[in-house]
Amino acid sequence: LLCQRAEKKRCGQCQACQLLEAGSHPDLHQIQSEKQIGVDDIRSAIEKLSGKSQLGGAKVLIIHQADSMTESAANALLKTLEEPTAHTYMLLTASSAERLLPTIKSRCEKLL
């Protein structure tokens, strides 16, 4: 999603791929918590997605263990899921999809 040359897979050579390898791509944002993901975590990530892409391509948010979001965090994410900014991708992982709010699940494409 972030590679500047990708057709089907990333090239590994462009600036975006090099930044990904270094773990410092400015348009990749991740939320991960050993406990619960709170509303402040979600609001901070949404704020980062609201601006333009720093490298002129896509913006990506990965929410690891999205099933650990508090109800208020999940509700804060809904509007962005419904109306994302251009070239914005949100990937949610969950070990228990049943624990996600039905409103979250209805706005996402499920991949197994």
pLDDT digits (tens, 9 = 90+) for 19-75: 999 999 999 999 999 899 999 999 999 999 988 899 988 999 999 999 999 999 999
Instruction: Tell me the torsion sign for CA atoms 60, 70, 35, 40.
Output: positive
Instruction: Give the span between the Cα atoms of 24 and 28, in whole angstroms.
Output: 8
Instruction: Give the span between the Cα atoms of 88 and 50, in whole angstroms.
Output: 9
| 3-state SS assignment for residue 29 | strand
Predicted model pTM:
0.90
> Above 90 in pLDDT, residue 6?
no
* Partner residues linked to 5 by β-bridges: none
Mark residue 65 as left, alpha or beta (left: phi above 0; alpha: psi -120 to 50; beta: remaining): left
Token pair belonging to 58: 């896509």
The pLDDT assigned to 10 comes to 85
